[in-house]
Amino acid sequence: MSRFPKANFILSVAAPVQFPADAGAEVAFAGRSNAGKSSAINAISGRKALARTSKTPGQTRLLNYFELEAGHRIVDLPGYGYADIRADERSKWVPLLDALRERESLRGLLLVVDCRRGLRDEDLGLIEWADPTRRRIHVLIAKADKLNQAERAAALREAQATLGEVATAQLFSAHSGLGVDEARDRLDELWASARS
C-alpha cells in the first residue's frame, strides 16, 4: 500500500497570483538539477511518476504543487545549478520565490543533495533563503546506493558538520529504498511543525 494513495498534482505556479490558498501545511523540495529530487518525491510519495524524472535539466521555472494527503502539500522547486538564469527569467523567478517564502503554510524545506557532490554554496544559499530560524530544514543525502558503508558514514558526518544546528540530514536512496521511511517521518514532522 502506498503511504499516500491519494497523492496528486495540484497546479504549476508561474506567477505570485497563482499560488494555492495559503491554508494547511506545505513543504518545499529543492536541490541542484540532477540531485535526485524528482526520484525522491516519487519514492517518498510511493507514486512512481508523480514528479517527472529526467537526465536533462528542465527549462521552465515553475513551482509544481502536489497534495500528498488532505491539507498536506509539497512544492517542487526547479533544479538549480546550471548556467545562470537569464535576466528576463530571473525577474519572474525571484518574486515567485519571495512569495513562497512569505506563505504561512510553508513549514519546511527538504533539500536533496547528490551524495557524491555534497553540500555546495548554492545549497547553503537555498537554506538561507528558507530561513532556518523560522522553519525546519532537512537534507536528503541522495543516491546513497552509490557509496559503500564507510563512504556513507563519511558523507553523513560531513553534511552534519557543515549544517550544525541549522538543519538535520539523513542518507537516502530512491533506488534501494534506503531512508525512505525516515524521510516520510521527517516530512510528517515538518508538516506538523509550527512556523515561528
Ligand X SMILES: Nc1nc2c(ncn2[C@@H]2O[C@H](COP(=O)(O)OP(=O)(O)O)[C@@H](O)[C@H]2O)c(=O)[nH]1
Measured CA to CA, the distance from residue 12 to residue 122 in angstroms comes to 23
Q: Which residues fall within 8 angstroms of residue 81, CB to CB, at 6 or more apart?
A: 32, 33, 120, 122
Closest approach of Cβ 125 to ligand X, in Å?
17
Closest approach of Cβ 62 to Mg ion, in Å?
12
* Interaction of residue 55 with ligand X, rule CB under 6 A: yes
Closest approach of Cβ 33 to ligand X, in Å?
5
Residues facing 111 on adjacent strands: 30, 139
C-alpha cell at 154: 563519511
Measured CA to CA, the distance from residue 62 to residue 10 in angstroms comes to 13
146 binds, among Mg ion, ligand X, none (CB under 5 to 8 A by kind): ligand X
Of the ranges 20-28, 38-46, 91-99, 100-108, which one interacts with Mg ion (CB under 5 A)? 38-46
* Interaction of residue 36 with ligand X, rule CB under 6 A: yes
* Interaction of residue 38 with Mg ion, rule CB under 5 A: yes
- Give phi and psi for 126, each to the nearest 5: -70, -35
Closest approach of Cβ 184 to ligand X, in Å?
15
| Closer residue to Mg ion, CB minimum distance, 32 or 135 | 32
* Interaction of residue 174 with ligand X, rule CB under 6 A: yes
Measured CA to CA, the distance from residue 7 to residue 45 in angstroms comes to 7
45 binds, among Mg ion, ligand X, none (CB under 5 to 8 A by kind): none
| Closer residue to ligand X, CB minimum distance, 37 or 72 | 37
Say how many residues touch ligand X, by CB under 6 A. 19
Question: Please, is 1 exposed, middle or buried when counting C-beta atoms within 10 Å of its C-beta (0-12, 13-18, 19+)?
Answer: exposed
Question: Which of 28, 31, 62, 159 forms a contact with ligand X (CB under 6 A)?
Answer: 31
Give me the residue label for grid cell 515538518.
190
Measured CA to CA, the distance from residue 113 to residue 102 in angstroms comes to 24
Residues facing 11 on adjacent strands: 65
* Interaction of residue 34 with ligand X, rule CB under 6 A: yes
- Give phi and psi for 59, each to the nearest 5: -100, -45
* Interaction of residue 39 with Mg ion, rule CB under 5 A: no
Can you give the binding site for ligand X, defined by CB under 6 A? 31, 33-39, 53-55, 79, 142-143, 145-146, 173-175
